[in-house]
Amino acid sequence: MRRVHVLIPVAGAALIGVVAWSFCGVSNSSANEPKSAADPALQRTRKAVRMLDDLYKTAVVLITKHYINEDTDLSAGAAAKALFAEMHKKGWHEVQLLDVTGTPYNAKNVADDPFERKAVAALKSGKDYFDDVETAEGKRYLRAATPVPVVLKKCILCHENYRQAAKGEAIGALSYRILIE
Ligand code: HEC
């Protein structure tokens, strides 16, 4: 019966995680977005980004909630970056975890191309989604960015600067690059 005892809290926590992060999910209403009505491949790719964004953010919240107790523990952010690197290596999409506060934990986690700089400015101004389509070697890629707010007090354990963040304010971002096919 041990399994039941484990499953119930995990399912409950998963629900809390989904609810906690759902407000920062992807919307389709930003003015910057390329038109997708007559572009089913673009619509499918945007939907895939929405799904990935929910998946990654829910995982980060659950890991932080259940496994992080001290500032020396391996952070969910670092674990997520390792996961993103594996996904990229295996030929799937690319994802970057970015700071938007100006005081990153890791100085490498900052916007480093024109799309990301525009996306960070948009998310900081309160947008809950930003995307664009770029073409490389005859293929189209969706670049998309979503905000990361401070959803748990525990985040402050390692990010002292998040103490000043307003409720729901973006302190970070996930930046996606995914093939449109
Ligand atoms: C145990 C310490 C710890 C906790 C708790 C923690 N983080 Fe982090 N966070 C880190 C570390 C370390 C990095 C840098 C990881 C890397 O680049 O390898 C990081 C990176 C980040 C980044 C990328 C930008 C930057 O500052 O480098 C964001 C955004 C972020 N964390 C958000 C969060 C949020 C939101 C929470 C709460 C859900 C959280 N973190 C909880 C340690 C922590």
pLDDT in tens, 9-54: 544 444 444 444 433 334 444 445 566 678 999 999 999 999 999 9
Which has the closest alpha carbon to 48: 170, 139, 141, 169? Answer: 141
The answer to whether residues 133 and 8 touch, using CB atoms and an 8 Å cutoff, is: no
| CA of residue 164 to ligand 1 center, whole Å | 16
User: Exposed, middle or buried by CB within 10 Å (0-12, 13-18, 19+), for 65?
Assistant: middle
57, 71, 72, 75: residue to mutate for ligand 1 pocket, most atoms within 8 A of CB? 75
Q: Is the pLDDT of residue 160 over 70?
A: yes
pLDDT score for 33: 54
Q: Which residue has the higher pLDDT, 10 or 179?
A: 179
pLDDT score for 117: 98
pLDDT score for 162: 97
Which has the closest alpha carbon to 80: 66, 96, 102? Answer: 96
Q: How far apart are the first and last CA of the chain?
A: 46
pLDDT score for 7: 45
What's the rounded mean pLDDT across residues 93-104? 98
Burial 68-79 (b: 16+ CB within 10 A, else e): beeeeeebbbeb
Query: What gap in Å lies between CA 91 and CA 99, rounded to an integer?
Result: 25
| CA of residue 156 to ligand 1 center, whole Å | 9
**What is the second-level CATH architecture of the domain 2-24+36-179?**
2-Layer Sandwich (3.30)
161 phi/psi in degrees, rounded to 5 = -65, -15
Query: What gap in Å lies between CA 2 and CA 18, rounded to an integer?
Result: 25
| CA of residue 77 to ligand 1 center, whole Å | 5
The answer to whether residues 164 and 156 touch, using CB atoms and an 8 Å cutoff, is: no
pTM: 0.84
Query: What gap in Å lies between CA 168 and CA 147, rounded to an integer?
Result: 9
Query: What gap in Å lies between CA 93 and CA 139, rounded to an integer?
Result: 14
